[in-house]
Amino acid sequence: MTLIRLIAIATLLLNSISLSAASLIPAPPKLEASGYILMDHQSGQILASDNPDARLEPASLTKIMTAYVVFHELTSGHIRLDEQVRVSEKAWRSPGSRMFIKEGSKVSIEELLKGMVIQSGNDASVALAEFTAGSEEAFVELMNSHARDLGLSNSHFANSTGLPAPDHVTTPRDVALLSSKLIERFPEYYKWFGIKKYTYNNITQNNRNLLLFRDKSIDGLKTGHTNAAGYCLVATAKRNEMRLITVVMGTKSERARADESQKLLNYGFRFYETHRLYGADEQIKNIRIWQGDRESLALGVDEELYITVPRGQYKKLDASMMINQAVIAPINAGTPLGHIEIKLGDKLIAQPELVALHSVEEGGLFQKLKDKVLLMLE
């Protein structure tokens, strides 16, 4: 065998090894926790999990839902950040972590929100709940209503704080979905979760999320702890244009929840990448529509579509469209008329619906008769 042939064979082998290494994704880290999940914020894809649907006590992760409800009321115009809340005895007496508001004093909604999301104040949570809904009990009804609307099928809330209570439970998956929706819908308020310290009543408290002090890409989200729940943490980080969310519940210490969350984030950013495939209402395909006042109909997806794939595999994605046959007018905008199958090898990555991007009205009599004939000849 000649030297040139040996070199050629060696080169082929090295290229083969290189390609295999490029597509190799190690198993995600195993964590010492009751349950956890790693999710891409934009695509919603789950990159790692263990017991993601276990119903666990959330402790102060509850305050993510409390914040969500208050943010919703602010955005709806029902309340304002500068409104003053009179602190009740119940709020003042709330046990556990506090921002140290005083009974009978007046505190703005903005101050209470910062005291809740930065200092994890149970007193702030109760004060916000009472002001927003009239009582904490009524506020809890709002929490559970929003949970149903968001599809958090394994969550049930009994209070606004996360203090132990019967049937006060959620899951890592539900918390990840809730956190993602909060980031998406309330970016102007979400930024408070990344503040490292807050001073109220001349008392300065650090944010309990240790990762904020370790990694500049991390900008939220919330800690929780009770004896029954263990140490919990929702952490989210953005590197370049990719945002990951981790939920780790039931660890043994404050440091453990931070370390375990960091492992998941490092794994996700190291081995995966997220790409935007299609924009909302972006035309993907034009199809023939029959018996309408026009002959073409634009199809697309109704919301931005992101995909998360192993690093280096994006160009290997394959997309194929399955479209309904013989689409006949009238058609309303938003009507599903097929779907896209996006695969990486044999694995189905996503299957978004293809919808009509505009309405098409019924055509005139001549157009309808002509199209009926043409359809019979198809």
How does DSSP assign 260-303, residue by residue?
A: HHHHHHHHHHHHEEEEEEE-BT---EEEEEESBSSSEEEEEBSS
The helix (H) or strand (E) run that includes residue 1 is none
CA pair distance 82, 101, nearest whole angstrom: 16
Q: Annotate 106-149 with three-state secondary structure.
A: EEEHHHHHHHHHCCCCHHHHHHHHHHHHCCHHHHHHHHHHHHHH
Q: Alpha-carbon torsion 251, 253, 257, 263, what sign?
A: negative
* Catalytic-residue membership of 60: yes
Q: b/e string for 97-108 if b means 16 or more Cβ within 10 A?
A: bbbebeeeeebe
Question: Which one of 43, 63, 125, 155 is the catalytic residue?
Answer: 63
Cβ neighbour number for residue 128 with a 10 Å cutoff: 29
Question: Which one of 49, 88, 94, 120 is the catalytic residue?
Answer: 120
Q: Provide the residue count of the chain.
A: 378
Main-chain phi, psi angles of 342, to 5 degrees: -110, 120
Give the residue among 179, 220, 180, 224 at the shortest CA–CA distance from 196: 220
* Residue 267 Cα to chain centre, angstroms: 18
* Catalytic-residue membership of 63: yes
* Catalytic-residue membership of 94: no
Contact 281, 302 (CB under 8 A): yes
Q: Which residue's structure tokens are 């208050």?
A: 70
- Which ranges in the chain belong to alpha helices (H)? 3-23, 62-75, 89-92, 109-117, 122-133, 136-149, 172-185, 187-190, 254-271, 365-377
Cβ neighbours of residue 327 under 8 Å, at least 6 residues apart?
287, 288, 289, 290, 297, 337
Query: Hey, is 350 helix, strand or coil?
Result: strand
DSSP 8-state assignment for residue 152: -
Q: Which residue's structure tokens are 């408070």?
A: 192
CA pair distance 6, 241, nearest whole angstrom: 44
Q: Which residues are catalytic?
A: 60, 63, 120
